[in-house]
A = this chain, B = another copy of it.
Amino acid sequence: MPETVNDTEKQIFDAAIKVFQRKGMAGARMQEIADEAGINKSMLHYYFRSKEKLFRQIFLISLKKFIGSVVPLLNEQNTWEQKVPLIIEYYAKFLTENPDLPFFVLSEIRNNAEEFLSEVKIEDILINSVFMEQLKNDMGKEKIRRINPVQIFLSIISGIIFPFIAKPMVKHVAKLDDNSWNEFINERKDIVSGMVINYLKQF
């Protein structure tokens, strides 16, 4: 029992991820999680004590997944210029597979979970990444525009994450169906990549 997680527990956990990420802490219902997991509501409390406790676990794992999973990419052995499209490509795929995750994380952080940010040490992970060092390095050599590297990273993720966050509105305004949405996102990847790289190099 040490590492192999109980089957019921995992079913609850997976169901909770689905429901919490879609509805948020306030909108999620314990009964709905139980139904989604196909088990009795009492089991939720048996395994996780309370909604608060269950939420905390779901939130933390979501937060780590959201920010932690790019880190390997940032630290790979290639140039920053090669990394940019790879980061974008990665996030586009990630967001397609986890459409509710970023919104959920950002939402709950706004509400009350700001303290969680310290638990996952994003600051250092990001700031000290090879990607950031490479940017600073090339800035020092006057090869690219001198600018706060956080702004560059923020530009990348803004450009690709925001369209997913605002997906219903974007689809509506640009009159996209599911197929043309994918096309739109493919186009978007190149644009964001081009904008960032262009901006750094042309100055």
Contacts and interface: CB of A to CB of B under 8 A. Distances in A.
Contacts of A26: 23-24, 26-27
Contact of A191 (B117, B147, B191): B147
* A-side interface mostly: helix
A39 interface: no
Contacts of A50: none
A194 B199 contact: yes
Nearest to A199: B195
A114 interface: yes
Contacts of A117: 168-169, 172
B192 A126 contact: no
13 contacts: A103-B106, A103-B107, A117-B172, A148-B174, A150-B173, A151-B188, A154-B170, A154-B188, A155-B159, A165-B165, A194-B199, A195-B195, A199-B199
